Amino acid sequence: MLQSICKKKERLIVGLMSGSSADGIDAALVKVSGSGKSTSIQTIAHDTLRFSGKIRELILKCSHPDTGRVDDICRLNSLLGELFAQAVIHIAKKADYELSQIDLIGSHGQTIHHLPSPEKISGVEVTSTLQIGEPSIIVERTGITTIADFRPRDMAAGGQGAPLVSYVDYLLFSHPEKSRVALNIGGIANITVLPAGSPAEEVLAMDTGPGNILLDQLIYMITGGKNRYDLDGKRASRGKVDQRILERLLEHPFLQKPPPKSTGREDFGEAYLHWIMEMGKGTEWDNLITTLAEFTVRTIVNSLEMFVFPYHEIDELIVSGGGVRNFYIWHRLEESLPQQRMLISDDFSIPSDAKEAVAFAILANETLMGHEGNLPRATGARHRVILGKIIPGKNI
Amino acid sequence: MLQSICKKKERLIVGLMSGSSADGIDAALVKVSGSGKSTSIQTIAHDTLRFSGKIRELILKCSHPDTGRVDDICRLNSLLGELFAQAVIHIAKKADYELSQIDLIGSHGQTIHHLPSPEKISGVEVTSTLQIGEPSIIVERTGITTIADFRPRDMAAGGQGAPLVSYVDYLLFSHPEKSRVALNIGGIANITVLPAGSPAEEVLAMDTGPGNILLDQLIYMITGGKNRYDLDGKRASRGKVDQRILERLLEHPFLQKPPPKSTGREDFGEAYLHWIMEMGKGTEWDNLITTLAEFTVRTIVNSLEMFVFPYHEIDELIVSGGGVRNFYIWHRLEESLPQQRMLISDDFSIPSDAKEAVAFAILANETLMGHEGNLPRATGARHRVILGKIIPGKNI
């Protein structure tokens, strides 16, 4: 079983990602050659299929302890399985491939709950996470062998189940002579530190703080929902940094915490933005926007200066995520990091806004080939493990 | 990957089952040779690990729409994963085997919801089922490759996800010259019809009606919880059938329904028992017990006479389940079926009270070997599929 897919020199793999913001499904069709450190990829097509308002509501309802009922979760698991299957069919069609030409699917699933801190239940200590979107349905509708549900295996080994993308950074970006940092500026910004020639065991990763999460929320709020982000960072480029507010923001306790560390909506969500807006009363919107963009820049630069540069001379930064298109952030990073060359992940065939979907295609390839896919210094796991669950398709 | 396990002539496999009554975990250690129609087995050890009252309550709480919350489900998924792992460790120790000698685990999981009737959610028709007990944790704690969560794949192909044991009946009991029926008398009784030499596609299975469900409930109630069942069917053997009540019971609409058909607590649960007790007011308890035992016998015999004997001459009945130990039921079946030889599943190395745990060990073996494990005429699926999700262990 699985031998015919394993033996191929090149595999066509669809990666599927559906983030905790429950906006929609990111799908990427990737041509993957080799595996492990000899992996090379070419992204053939990618797209986002937005969820309808009704489905997004159902996901958020199922995610919350007060409203997440077992019968709704049971149904939503199947419903999302159907939608993930449709995303595969869509991306294949868009790229003009037949489903029968695709070898493998890697599906992250939709996180509806994540409890990485140990709790005692009936005398047994557990950590837990719940990703849904039934992969059996993806397999039935497409015929394609699917690997799904990557996080629980890392958590079983003592990890936080995140970040998993760091291993993909290691595979694609680490270099025998150049020391690099992979920087992803999504809602939250994170870095993967890749010293020249270091083995997987030594790769460090951490969240640095907010990426676009505060900026996007503010824009959404002040445009009454008309805009979802500051296009090209135009407003940020127009305003001026309010130093008083910025200094206060830089006092956030997360920023001083030593790695490994991760953060999210609980630290930099709506409550935090409201506190900022309270503090920034009377400040022009554009100035507040610029201040938040600068906050993102400074938390990234400070993390590098505190936790990375003292130990490694970094030659290059490879940047991905929506923040890449914010020119204010990009230029300020360039200014602040004169010693480093800044590259965009697109140069490595990873579209900066489809990085996670591409990453789960590559993680599926690693599991298929029997390779471990987590990094202990990124997730905190005790050791490396093969991630995911394999559901055999017609093409085994 | 998986090749070293696949190539073995004999595999040691642990099967794990946790039924919807949420009593505990049945574990069986089985030596399996070959696969498909050449499968032969030897059950080395089996045991039941009862859940504590607290854990049973948590399972029942998580199963109910009004109380099954996403955070509890998330935690319980991990907790049950830990308990399933403990069950594997326990059964290996009991049989004096090292974990490193065991090749594979087949885990059914704990059903907390099952919605096999199609429903439209946001315009998409779905059927759904939810089995929990994180297999990644089983793999981490034992090191053993695990195959879990068998039902969703059959449902994705249009089936009801049940019964899955029928395929195992087919593998182990079907015979080139003898026509057989496998009869399992659990809470509900069911039959798998195995005409001599017929292929998997033609194997029919159905529930026949109550097995021990009504009897056990009645005994529990009238002994104030002291006894859980009628030991050896002693009380049933002592009483007399109340013909008036029996005739009324035999009018139940499920009994006339043509196969494929399945039933459960919704048809023959507490509400139905209360109706019987109301009708039987003034009847001595022993007579009511005998009447219910006779009801089980008659529904089995009637199903055979209506749906099986007109099409196939059956030579042998192979009986399993708790009902095997009820001598009243056994003797009355023998009397009522004089043309058939009655055998007990233990004669085929399937302990009659560990049949399902053994079955999931065998279903895991089939998936490992790339064989389809469902029967379309048993589950209603459109076609045969490879069941389950494979989580690679250290032993791949």
pLDDT of B270 reads 84
Top-level class of domain B3-162+355-391: alpha beta
DSSP string covering B337-369: -TTSEEEEGGGGT--TTSHHHHHHHHHHHHHHT
Q: Where are the domains of chain B?
A: 3-162+355-391, 167-348
* B:136-155 residues touching chain A, CB 8 A cutoff: 136-137, 139-141, 148-149, 152-153, 155
How many other β-carbons are positioned within 10 Å of the β-carbon of residue B163? 25
User: What average pLDDT does the segment B290-312 reach?
Assistant: 97
Q: Which two tokens stand for residue B343?
A: 């055998």
Edge-first strand order for the sheet with B316-320 is B204-210, B188-194, B180-185, B316-320, B341-344
More confident residue, B226 or B332: B332
Cβ-Cβ contacts under 8 Å, B129 against chain A: 74
Q: Is 90 exceeded by the pLDDT of residue A353?
A: no
Least trusted range by pLDDT, from A31-45, A119-133, B16-30, B314-328: B16-30
Cβ–Cβ below 8 Å for A390 and B385: no
User: What average pLDDT does the segment A320-348 reach?
Assistant: 96
- Residue B276 CA to residue B251 CA, distance in Å, equals 13
- Residue A328 CA to residue A234 CA, distance in Å, equals 8
Q: Which two tokens stand for residue A135?
A: 């992969």
CA distance A242 to chain B (A): 41
CA distance B261 to chain A (A): 23
Nearest to B276 by CA among B297, B295, B249, B254: B249
H or E segment to which residue B31 belongs: strand B24-33
Helices (H), chain A: 3-6, 53-63, 70-94, 135-142, 151-156, 165-173, 213-222, 234-238, 243-249, 265-268, 270-279, 285-303, 327-336, 355-368, 376-379
User: What average pLDDT does the segment B381-391 reach?
Assistant: 97
- Residue A381 CA to residue B217 CA, distance in Å, equals 47
Cβ-Cβ contacts under 8 Å, B128 against chain A: 74-75, 77-78, 134
Cβ–Cβ below 8 Å for B75 and A141: no
pLDDT in tens, A356-365: 999 999 999 9
pLDDT in tens, B149-183: 999 999 999 999 989 999 999 999 999 999 999 99
Query: Burial level of B282, CB count in 10 A (0-12/13-18/19+)?
Result: exposed
Per-chain mean pLDDT for chain A:
95
pLDDT of B228 reads 84
Per-chain mean pLDDT for chain B:
95
Q: Is 80 exceeded by the pLDDT of residue B266?
A: no
Topology match between the domains B3-162+355-391 and B167-348: yes
Cβ–Cβ below 8 Å for B370 and A396: yes
Cβ-Cβ contacts under 8 Å, B63 against chain A: 70
DSSP string covering B157-180: TT--S---HHHHHHHHH--SS--E
CB-based contact, B271 to chain A, within 8 Å: no
Q: How confident is the model at residue A225 (pLDDT cuts 50, 70, 90)?
A: confident
* A:178-207 residues touching chain B, CB 8 A cutoff: none
- Residue A83 CA to residue A135 CA, distance in Å, equals 11
Cβ–Cβ below 8 Å for A65 and B83: no
pLDDT of B214 reads 94
CA distance B3 to chain A (A): 8
Q: Is 80 exceeded by the pLDDT of residue B265?
A: no
Of all residues in chain A, what percent carry a pLDDT higher than 70? Answer: 100
Cβ-Cβ contacts under 8 Å, A119 against chain B: 75
User: What average pLDDT does the segment A313-332 reach?
Assistant: 96
pLDDT in tens, B199-208: 998 999 999 9
pLDDT in tens, A364-376: 999 999 999 999 9
Measured between CB atoms, which of B74, B112, B396 is closest to A370? Answer: B396
pLDDT of B224 reads 92
* B:362-381 residues touching chain A, CB 8 A cutoff: 367-370
Helix axes A165-173, A355-368, angle to 10 degrees: 80
User: What average pLDDT does the segment B292-308 reach?
Assistant: 98
Cβ–Cβ below 8 Å for A389 and B385: no
pTM tops 0.90: yes
Cβ–Cβ below 8 Å for A78 and B391: no
User: What average pLDDT does the segment B15-29 reach?
Assistant: 91
- Determine the residue among B140, B155, B366, B384 to mutate to test chain A binding: the one whose Cβ has the most chain A Cβ atoms within 10 Å: B140
pLDDT in tens, A258-285: 987 888 877 898 889 999 999 999 999 9
CB-based contact, B337 to chain A, within 8 Å: no
- Determine the residue among A5, A25, A56, A78 to mutate to test chain B binding: the one whose Cβ has the most chain B Cβ atoms within 10 Å: A78
**CATH code of domain A167-348:** 3.30.420.40
How many other β-carbons are positioned within 10 Å of the β-carbon of residue A275? 12
pLDDT in tens, A117-169: 899 999 999 999 999 999 999 999 999 999 999 999 999 999 999 899 999 99
CA distance B376 to chain A (A): 15
pLDDT in tens, B272-288: 999 999 999 999 999 99
Q: How confident is the model at residue A74 (pLDDT cuts 50, 70, 90)?
A: very high
Cβ-Cβ contacts under 8 Å, A139 against chain B: 153, 156
CA distance B113 to chain A (A): 7
Q: Is 90 exceeded by the pLDDT of residue A20?
A: no
pLDDT of A337 reads 98
Top-level class of domain A3-162+353-391: alpha beta
Q: How confident is the model at residue B225 (pLDDT cuts 50, 70, 90)?
A: confident
How far CA A235 is from CA of A240, A286, A332, A384, in Å, comes to 10, 6, 14, 44
Measured between CB atoms, which of A73, A115, A370 is closest to B75? Answer: A115
- CA–chain centroid gap for B261, Å, is 15
pLDDT of A22 reads 85
